Amino acid sequence: MKKTLRAKDYAALGDFRYAMRQFLRFSKEVIAARAKLTPEQYEALLAIKASRQPHGMTVGEMSERLQVRHHTAVSLLDKLEARKLALRKRTNTDRRTVNVQLTRAGTVLLSRLVLIHYREMRRRAPTMIGALQRLQK
């Protein structure tokens, strides 16, 4: 069944996208100024930290989580390793499997950045949630 969108649906979609773009611009500026990272590098650090696996995540899982190709995830990881923010470890059970983990420096940096993002997201959440709720009506 195809639904015809109403003017208020377009407005809600537009409002949500606008709020997201504002947040993403804020995020990009914060991570560039305070950590000299790209948004993708920040997202990689966050994905690694958010992994529920006790030994980090595989590069393939990181690729899926970030919705990028495997070679892009490898390139991001290379840059994070060069800055000593993340590291790769081969598993003992299958030497072909490589887990990705944050270093102590990566954890400390991410903790600072996440707190800033958390506060900003909580500030912007009512606008984003309101737009999404209007789409449900």
Per-residue pLDDT tens digits of the chain, which is 137 residues long: 557 888 999 999 999 999 999 999 999 999 999 999 999 999 999 999 999 888 889 999 999 999 999 999 999 999 999 999 999 988 777 667 789 999 999 999 999 999 999 999 999 999 999 999 998 87
Q: What is the domain count for the chain?
A: 1
Q: Is residue 53 part of a domain?
A: yes
What's the predicted TM-score (pTM) here? 0.89
Cα–Cα distance between 114 and 98 in angstroms, integer?
A: 26
Q: Is residue 131 part of a domain?
A: yes
Report in angstroms the alpha-carbon separations of 27 from 71, 103, 123.
25, 22, 13
CATH code at position 125: 1.10.10.10
Q: Is residue 2 part of a domain?
A: no
* Contact assessment for residue 98 and residue 88, using Cβ atoms and an 8 Å cutoff: yes
Q: Is residue 59 part of a domain?
A: yes
Q: Is residue 1 part of a domain?
A: no
Cα–Cα distance between 43 and 63 in angstroms, integer?
A: 11
Hey, what are 45's tokens?
């650090």
Q: Is residue 27 part of a domain?
A: yes
Domain range holding 32? Answer: 7-136
Q: Is residue 122 part of a domain?
A: yes
* Contact assessment for residue 52 and residue 93, using Cβ atoms and an 8 Å cutoff: no
